[in-house]
Structure 1
Amino acid sequence: MSDSPRPLRADARRNRVRVLEVAKAVLARDGTAASMREIARQAEVGLATVYRQFPTKEALFEAIVTEQTREIAGQAQSLADDENPGEAFFAFFTYAVTSSTGQKMLVDALADAGVDINAGELGQANRAMLDGAEILLVRAQQAGAVRKDMGMRELGALVSAACLAAERQHWDEDLRTRVLGIFFDGLSPRT
């Protein structure tokens, strides 16, 4: 007898994807106070379907954060061999900020619920994302596109600060582009 979970049926997979898509939109609008009932209604599935996939609100939050983190890690991986390491690094930074805005409230809710974000699938996704970001950073530094005194702690702090500011101040695309341009100027080597 195997301990691995049985694969989901096709309809269950579709429902899961639909619930996650709708949940992201509802959470972006209503925050962590969003109701599972409203998510089910907008996803056009029964409430029992939502709870079968995500037995708690925290399980739903964790699935969303894990999926988003995997997407960011995948972006890092896809840029890892880019022929222009500087452009690849800055493209990744922009993608990470754009994709992560709004995640802080979910991560905070998980921490408040006692969920270890460094364990399980989310922990694996976090490690993959950080590993990919580090490869991009090192390649950009070796190419002379990013200052040498920039490390992963600084990168994490800058991305987190940009995400938090974008979330709290509701940055539009134009403002995000200008602010990230200023960040990127500060990351460039001093001549």
Structure 2
Amino acid sequence: MDTEYAEDSVDRHIARWSGKVPFDVPTEAVITRIQLLAKHVKYGKERALAETGLQEFEFETMHRLASRGTPWRAPSAELAAELLLSPAGMTGRLDTLEKSGLVRRVRALGDRRRVDVELTDDGHRRWTEAMRWRGIAEAEMVDPLDDGERAALSALLKRMLRHVEEKQEK
């Protein structure tokens, strides 16, 4: 069966609402599909966390550290700002991560007043495993598309996103 023409939940949604409320069908179809796909991305992330036994806040903190490359380290104040946490909130989060053996606090090189946070080897291993599971979930989502279709979809979504971001900047 050619899935391109098979009915999906959005087609049924549009059929249910057609004639009941005014909306542009192509716009409704695009936006509703984006919303549903975003939910599936979220579920994939949740599955990745479940597979690795990590909580969202643990993953997000480790993700920020891992993005810096070896030695996966950042000043705690900088990390708190990126994660939009108060100093007290960051302290509580780091206490939990440190007790779990995922991060450690170290004095900053050259400035003993500053505390840096770094991933432990176990923290990096668990973060890497969560990223692997996320990659599997994402690959499953785009699996029906060939390389050209993926590139075309990416370009269209980029155009939409740039339009929205540019409007917000004004």
Same-fold call, TM cutoff 0.5:
no
Higher share of residues assigned helix: 1
TM-score relative to the length of structure 2: 0.29
Higher share of residues assigned strand: 2
- Kindly name which structure, 1 or 2, has the bigger radius of gyration based on alpha carbons: 2
